[in-house]
Amino acid sequence: MGEPPVLSLDPRLARALSHPLRVRLLAVLNERVASPVEVSKLLDEPLQNVAYHARALLELGRIELVATVPRRGALEHYYRAVMRPFFGERDWARLPKSARQAVSDVVLQMVWDDTATALENGAFDNRVDRHLSRTVLAVDDEGWEKLTALLAETLAAAIDIQEESAARLAAGGEPLDAEVVLMNFTAAASG
């Protein structure tokens, strides 16, 4: 089973990820190829801000230019992410707390937005074989480490399933966007 691709941590990347718009831009470009014009509309952000942050991610080697298309006398640049934004435990610990918070905030907002949209349009409960659960567990440090390792293994297996699906989709299979959310975090103490 493959390991999740891991971003190598360098100080410039840590600085880049401490800005929420760059985190959101990287997330979009992991899902599809897009131009700053498209991303600015999608994220409801000013084009100049998105273009600025796209250039920063390009300079960091986290996205790449894949196409240019002439549009009204200018060139529209299309980018894609070059690797999935996944941090190993050691790299995550080395990120400044502000960068970890920014990444967490953006990812949780995306999860909430996607969930709310799926609930509103009825897609969330379209399939009877979907999974939803919430379980609070009492564990010690060793149990926490085992849970964290299990979730990393589950993510790696999910990525393997996506890669296997790519061949079937290329042969004409019907695409289905499956959103997988994995979390473990320490819950606030009840009182």
Residue 49 tokens, joined: 């801000």
Q: pTM higher than 0.85 for the full model?
A: no
* 147 and 66 housed in the same domain: no
Number of domains making up the chain:
2
> What pLDDT does residue 6 have?
46
Give long-range contacts, CB 8 A cutoff, 24+ apart: 69-72: 69/35, 71/37
What is the length of the chain? 191
> What pLDDT does residue 100 have?
80
Q: Is residue 169 part of a domain?
A: yes
Q: Is residue 43 part of a domain?
A: yes
Segments forming the whole domain that contains residue 38: 11-125
Is residue 80 within 8 Å of 29, Cβ to Cβ? yes
* Whether residue 38 has pLDDT greater than 60: yes
CATH of the domain at 108: 1.10.10.10
* 23 and 88 housed in the same domain: yes
* 69 and 146 housed in the same domain: no
Q: Is residue 5 part of a domain?
A: no
* 115 and 22 housed in the same domain: yes
What is the tens place of the pLDDT at every residue in 92-147? 787 778 778 877 887 888 889 889 999 999 999 999 999 999 899 999 999 999 99
Residue 51 tokens, joined: 């273009």
> What pLDDT does residue 55 have?
93
